């Protein structure tokens, strides 16, 4: 049996003159992602793109899974391709729709006849196919107004297509059409969710992670690399920057007031992220901060962190509850990795009583009382880059 996937574009369809470049980006992303699964042709007409496998033994469930995670696709439809002969169509339709029909109680048939030379007219196709379906699945009833499943038979010039309707796509706009941002990626639950949310808005991500060996282990870093890999089906390849942060944290511990440790550390993280971002022509930062979640995320703390930033900081989970964030983390399958118990550099040297209402002038004065510049420079120079791709193993 041959299958294809028909794509329905979402917001792209309303992008006016830019539509073509959005569509190009979407198809490019799909091509890149499907390469591992075989050879495909992409037929584009009006607002639909059809993905057609060129090999016989394609794992179509894997193809569907890939496609369902590509931003820019509002909905998609998996269809069977059959020879244009009614008996053949009817025969092959029954096993193809079996799964969809198992949980349905009502159905209708919808016929579209683009090839006007086909010997049966649309109402005839509907009536005849409806009868065959009732015979094959006696538990079903016809309901033309509000059916559980609509079986569509499309007679086109080359072939006939049969499908049971659209499935929801990933939505959003194609990754790469909104510029690039640098994600501050910890091993926690929130920042991978922030990554997913901004990629959905078309942003191409790089990720930066701070490590403090020997206080943090190599396993902790690998955990974050695995999180990156989990994000690639949604975000594409990720340039992963790993920053050696131990010395900065030690200097900070030895030279600044304990209760300001976390807030100054976060400002230094932002500084390093910005320097690398500027070098790579990346124009914004992303974090997984959510107001009030922990001491470093009170309004006052965010004001002090933000004051250290020259570029916009996107915080897509800022107004979300932890339960809402976890729901997305489960959906994108990062949750189980995020809860693995490895230490993060943020938990090294954490003060017992961090200031929840830091005053910016005080924070700046404390930070300026020590010359961090040589350490920042060293950390930037010694940052390691690794590109994480879908299917990478650690």
Residue 287 near ligand ATP by CB under 6 A:
yes
Span 307-346, contacts to ligand ATP by CB under 6 A: 344-346
Q: How far apart are CA 152 and CA 141, in angstroms?
A: 16
User: Shortest approach of ligand ATP to residue 117 CB, angstroms?
Assistant: 60
Which of Mg ion, ligand ATP, none interacts with 295 (beta carbon under 5 to 8 A by kind)?
none
Kindly provide the b/e burial profile for residues 202-232, where b requires at least 16 CB atoms within 10 angstroms of the residue's own CB: bbbbbbbbbbbeebbeeebbebbbbbbbbbb
- Report the distance separating Cα 365 and Cα 386, nearest Å: 36
Q: Which of 239, 289, 348, 363 binds ligand ATP (CB under 6 A)?
A: 289
Residues 177-236 that bind Mg ion (CB under 5 A): 186, 188
Asked if 296 and 354 touch (Cβ cutoff 8 Å), the reply is: yes
Q: Which is nearer to ligand ATP, 71 or 210 (CB)?
A: 210
Burial label for 321, CB within 10 Å (0-12, 13-18, 19+), is: exposed
Q: Does 191 bind ligand ATP (CB under 6 A)?
A: yes
C-alpha to C-alpha distance for 114 and 161, rounded to whole angstroms: 11
**To the nearest whole angstrom, how small is the minimum distance from the Cβ of residue 288 to ligand ATP?**
3
**CA distances, 386 to each of 38, 129, 229, 286, 338 (Å):** 26, 55, 12, 19, 20
Query: Which CB sits closer to Mg ion, 125 or 185?
Result: 185
**Between 293 and 356, CB nearer to ligand ATP:** 293
Which helix (H) or strand (E) element contains residue 190? Answer: helix 190-200
Please check whether residue 230 is in contact with residue 332, taking contact to mean a CB–CB distance below 8 angstroms.
yes
Q: Which of residues 33 and 230 has its CB atom nearest to ligand ATP in the complex?
A: 230
Closest contact distance (angstroms) between CB of 211 and Mg ion is 13
Paired tokens of 315: 């915080």
Q: Based on CB atoms, which residue is closest to Mg ion, 164 or 297?
A: 297
User: Cα–chain-centroid distance for residue 371?
Assistant: 40
Which of the ranges 40-48, 97-105, 182-190, 372-380 carries the binding residues for ligand ATP, by CB under 6 A?
Answer: 182-190
Q: Which residues bind ligand ATP (CB under 6 A)?
A: 184-186, 188-191, 208-210, 287-289, 293-294, 296-297, 344-346
Q: Which residues bind Mg ion (CB under 5 A)?
A: 186, 188
């Amino acid at each position: 049996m041959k299958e294809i996937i028909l794509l329905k574009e979402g917001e792209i369809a309303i992008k006016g003159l830019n539509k073509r470049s959005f569509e190009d980006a979407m198809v490019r992303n799909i091509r890149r992602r499907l390469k591992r699964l075989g050879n495909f042709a992409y037929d584009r007409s009006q607002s639909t793109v059809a993905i057609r496998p060129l090999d016989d033994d394609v794992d179509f469930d894997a193809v569907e899974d890939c496609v369902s995670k590509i931003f820019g696709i509002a909905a998609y439809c998996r269809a069977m391709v059959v020879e244009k002969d009614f008996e053949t169509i009817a025969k092959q339709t029954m096993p193809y729709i079996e799964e969809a029909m198992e949980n349905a109680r009502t159905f209708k048939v919808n016929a579209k006849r683009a090839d006007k030379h086909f010997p049966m007219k649309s109402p005839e196709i509907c009536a005849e196919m409806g009868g065959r379906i009732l015979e094959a699945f006696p538990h079903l009833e016809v309901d033309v107004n509000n059916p559980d499943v609509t079986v569509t038979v499309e007679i086109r010039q080359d072939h006939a297509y049969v499908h049971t309707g659209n499935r929801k796509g990933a939505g959003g706009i194609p990754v790469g059409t909104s510029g690039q941002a640098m994600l501050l990626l910890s091993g926690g639950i929130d920042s991978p969710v922030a990554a997913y949310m901004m990629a959905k808005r078309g942003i191409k991500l790089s990720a930066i992670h701070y490590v403090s060996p020997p206080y943090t282990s190599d396993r902790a870093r690998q955990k974050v690399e695995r999180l990156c890999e989990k994000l690639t089906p949604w975000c594409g390849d990720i340039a992963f920057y790993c920053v050696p942060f131990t010395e900065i944290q030690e200097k900070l511990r030895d030279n600044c007031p304990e209760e300001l440790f976390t807030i100054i550390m976060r400002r230094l993280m932002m500084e390093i992220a910005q320097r690398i971002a500027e070098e790579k022509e990346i124009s914004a930062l992303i974090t997984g901060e959510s107001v009030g979640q922990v001491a470093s995320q009170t309004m006052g703390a965010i004001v002090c962190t933000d004051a250290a930033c020259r570029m916009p900081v996107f915080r897509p989970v800022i107004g979300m509850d932890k339960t809402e964030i976890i729901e997305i983390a489960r959906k994108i399958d990062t949750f189980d990795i995020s809860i693995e118990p490895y230490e993060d550099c943020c938990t090294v040297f954490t003060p017992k009583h961090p200031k929840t209402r830091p005053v910016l002038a005080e924070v700046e004065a404390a930070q300026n009382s020590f010359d961090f510049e040589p350490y920042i420079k060293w950390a930037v120079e010694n940052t390691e880059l690794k590109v994480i791709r879908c299917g990478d193993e650690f």
